[in-house]
Amino acid sequence: MKLEAVELLRLNVPLKGAFRTSFSSINTHQVLWVHAITDVGEGWAECGANERPDYSSEFHHGAATVLKEFLLPDVFALGDDLNAEAVAPTLHWAKGHRMAKAAIETAVLDAQLRAAGVSLASYLGATKARVPAGVSVGIMNSFDELLTHVEGYLAEGYLRIKLKIEPGWDYEPVRLVRETFGDDLLLQVDANTAYTRDDFDLLKRLDDFNLLLIEQPIEEEDILGHAKLAAYIETPICLDESIVSADIARDAIELGAAEIINIKPSRVGGYIESRKIHDVSVANNIPVWCGGMLETGIGRAANLALAAMPGFTLPGDTSASSRYFEVDTTEPFVLRDGHIDVPTGPGIGVDPIREIVDSYTVSQEWVRAL
Cite the active site residues: 164, 264
Least separation in angstroms between residue 190's CB and Mg ion is 4
Tell whether residue 293 is a contact of ligand OSB (CB under 6 A). yes
Tell whether residue 191 is a contact of ligand OSB (CB under 6 A). no
**Inter-axis angle of helices 271-283 and 297-307, to 10 degrees?**
30
Tell whether residue 319 is a contact of ligand OSB (CB under 6 A). yes
Quote the CA–CA distance of 183 and 206 in Å, as a whole number.
14
Torsion of CA 297, 298, 300, 301, to 10 degrees: 100
Site for Mg ion in 180-219 (CB under 5 A): 190, 215
Measured from the CB atom, the residue of 265 and 292 that comes closer to ligand OSB is 292
Measured from the CB atom, the residue of 58 and 240 that comes closer to ligand OSB is 240
DSSP codes of every residue in 168-200: TBSHHHHHHHHHHH-TTSEEEEE-TT---GGGH
Helix (H, G, I), strand (E, B) or coil at 112: helix
Tell whether residue 274 is a contact of ligand OSB (CB under 6 A). no
Segment contacting ligand OSB by CB under 6 A, of 125-133, 230-238, 282-290, 291-299: 291-299
Segment contacting ligand OSB by CB under 6 A, of 95-103, 151-159, 286-294, 350-358: 286-294
Quote the CA–CA distance of 47 and 106 in Å, as a whole number.
9
Least separation in angstroms between residue 317's CB and Mg ion is 8
| Residue closest to ligand OSB when measured from CB atoms | 292
Tell whether residue 170 is a contact of Mg ion (CB under 5 A). no
- Name which of 172, 178, 170 is nearest 150 in CA terms: 178
- Sequence-distant (6+) residues with CB within 8 A of 142 are none
Binding site for ligand OSB (CB under 6 A): 55, 136, 190, 192, 240, 291-294, 317, 319
